[in-house]
Structure 1
Amino acid sequence: MTGLRFQHYDWAGGREAMLRFGPDTGPIVLAALPLFEEANRTRQFACTILRALAGYGIGSVLPDFPGTGESIVATADATVSDQRQAYIGLAQQLGVDTYALSIRSGALLDGDATLAGRWQLSPQSGEELVRDLERARAAAGKPEGEYAGNRLSPERLAALRDAVPRGDGRCRIIRLETDPRVADATYPGAPLWRRSEPDNNIELAQKLAADIAHWIAA
């Protein structure tokens, strides 16, 4: 099967939904969106990348993790540990030829999973994520502890601050040309995760899909 399919996966804490793109055989890309509001701003963009990957014969999945997407777990109740455990469970089900595709803080979720490689777009540390959340909270005039409409406990914030992307092994870091930090490659484009509304960049998505396909083939 090569079309878009709605499926589920099980992990130690329950069951979550996922979208599956492309073929069922061969290498598989496991995509992780950024956490919180940036997920809504980049979902369409990520789906465009995954559809383009199907044109290279590469299958992919875009899962919900606990507290994200359509998960029955409330965002405020989800923990980084649970999200990582769900990631591990799905990666194990997908098999040894599984590659991570993460956008921004999505790179915080795959660190404990066994993967064939990690491809990261503008990976963000947990400390950077919390700073962004604090700035957005202050700009919106929200009380302490309320972030993007969610109440986050001090323990949850502390766990996020301690989280860092895993960059060892086979890892490829991609950034936009406006980002001066070290990267394996850069591409022109605006950071969609900074937009006030969800948006897409089909040309950039196609270029990134080609980058991922060539990286996997190499």
Structure 2
Amino acid sequence: MIGHYDWAGGREAMLRFGTATDPVVVAALPLFEEANRTRTFVVTLLRALAERGIASALPDLPGQGESLVPTEAATIADMRAAFAAVPGDYTLAIRSGALLDAGDRKSRWHLAPQQGAELLRELNRLRQTSGSEDFGGNRLSDILLAELEAAATSHARTVRHETDVKAADLKVPGAPLWRRAEPDNDTALAELLADDIAAWVRACEG
């Protein structure tokens, strides 16, 4: 279902899945181009969660998706404030979406969380490769770039692919969708992660 939420800076759209009586997971897509590559997968994952009795919300944040805020006017602080304003019990964040994970949630679940400094290095490489002032086709403010340099993820249940050498609570098979040239999906991985998230939510609910 398409809905909306309000935050101090205005009103943004969001997708809702599941019923009003289920625990609610609020999802954060990665920033910039990785959001386009993973959005279909995240929607598949949230639909799988609804089948397991877990509701969810996928909000557009300022400067992303269908937001009326221009990308060059977006800041990490505003994205975090908007994310915190979305009603929900838990967080599900993918990659740099973990940097936006704010709000009074019971617990957090992150897939391959990316630190701000890591993302900033990737953006600078993109700009150098393209030879333009844009960062992978995005015009970003100096404020946002400075925020990224210091941005870090919060404590969460962490899941990574088996090919990722970093520590995790769970390692899963498959290839990272955010590394592919075009948007794609992985329904088998979505089902596997939905099982893990559903079990995690039920454990948190006691």
Fold in common (TM above 0.5) = yes
Residue equivalent to 1:190: 175
> For residue 152 of structure 1, what is the amino acid of its counterpart?
L
Task: Tell me which residue corresponds to 2:41.
Answer: 45
**Aligned counterparts of 2:113 and 2:51: Cα–Cα separation in 1:** 25
- TM-superposed deviation, 1:183: 0.2
The 5 Å alignment of 1:198-213 reads 198-213=183-198
Shift of 1:156: 1.7
Using the TM superposition, give the Cα deviation of residue 68 of structure 1 relative to its aligned residue in structure 2, in angstroms: 0.5
Correspondence 1:101 to 2:92: yes
Structure 1 length as normaliser, TM-score?
0.90
Task: Name 2:115's counterpart in structure 1.
Answer: 125
- In structure 2, how many angstroms separate the alpha carbons of the residues matched to 1:153 and 1:174? 31
1:66: which partner in 2?
62
**Whole-angstrom distance in 2 between the partners of 1:127 and 1:187:** 25
Give the distance between the partners of 1:141 and 1:209, measured in 2 at CA: 41
- List runs of 5+ in structure 2 lacking aligned partners: none
List aligned pairs for 1:79-118, cutoff 5 A: 79-90=75-86, 93-94=87-88, 98-111=89-102, 113-118=103-108
Q: CA deviation at 1:22?
A: 1.1
| Alpha-carbon separation, structure 2, partners of 1:22 and 1:79 | 30
Which residue is 1:157 aligned to?
145
Cα deviation, residue 118, structure 1: 0.3
Aligned residue identity for 2:96: S
Secondary structure of 1:151's aligned partner = coil
Q: CA RMSD in A?
A: 1.0
Q: Which runs of 4+ in 1 moved over 4 A?
A: none
Give deviations 1:166-212, integer Å, cap 9, x for gaps. 11xxx200000000101000001101001111000000011000000
Q: CA deviation at 1:136?
A: 1.8
Task: Count residues in correspondence.
Answer: 203
2:201 corresponds to which letter in structure 1? I
Task: Give me the identity figure in percent.
Answer: 57
Normalising by structure 2, report the TM-score.
Answer: 0.96
